[in-house]
Amino acid sequence: MVQENMKAFGTMAEKETPKTKETQPEDKVVQKIVGLALESVDGLLSVEGGFFSNLTGKLINTDDVTTGVDVEVGKTQVAVDLKVVTEYRKNVPDIYEKIKEVIRKEVAAMTELEVVEVNVTVTDIKTKEQQKEDDVSIQDRVTSAAQTTGKFTSEQVDKVKDKVEDNTDKEARVK
């Protein structure tokens, strides 16, 4: 049954217009549906893209739910490929089943397309704490460093002001 669907999908996935390297608009919509649906899966820490999207995520903050979600949209069917990070001490097969269930349900409800294939590759397993640490981008670190530097500078200026005021008060008493 699955092989039949996969073969049928392979022929149905071909669009009338040749697919370019850029994602087709309908693919983007399905990617977003999948990305948003995955937010509800317990034990799924993140969906990861390729090297460049992971690098971008390390540099700047992004809320792009389509990162790491690859879809192939045909006339009536969809195939989904994901690379995920799951939570340590969670049952990976259960997470996989929840992923498939939520994707099938949401895509069907919103597009009436049939999800015939969900391929999930677990690229890593982490604790929630490790994931939070890894999610800190360079942008976050620079912002934090700037705030710390600003606070330090402000404290030093306050100290200088206090010294100047103390010296002014002493000079006023001496006169």
Q: Output the DSSP codes for 31-42.
A: HHHHHHHHTT-T
- Across 25-53, b (16+ Cβ under 10 Å) vs e yields eebebbbbbbbebbeebebbbbbbbeeee
What is the pTM for the complete model shown?
0.58
pLDDT of residue 16: 41
Question: What residues of the chain score a pLDDT lower than 50?
Answer: 1-21, 50-62
Of the chain, the percentage scoring pLDDT greater than 70 comes to 68
Angle at 106 between CA 91 and CA 108, to 5 degrees: 125
Helix H or strand E segment including 82: strand 77-87
pLDDT value at residue 17: 41
pLDDT tens per residue across span 138-164:
555 566 666 777 777 888 888 888 888
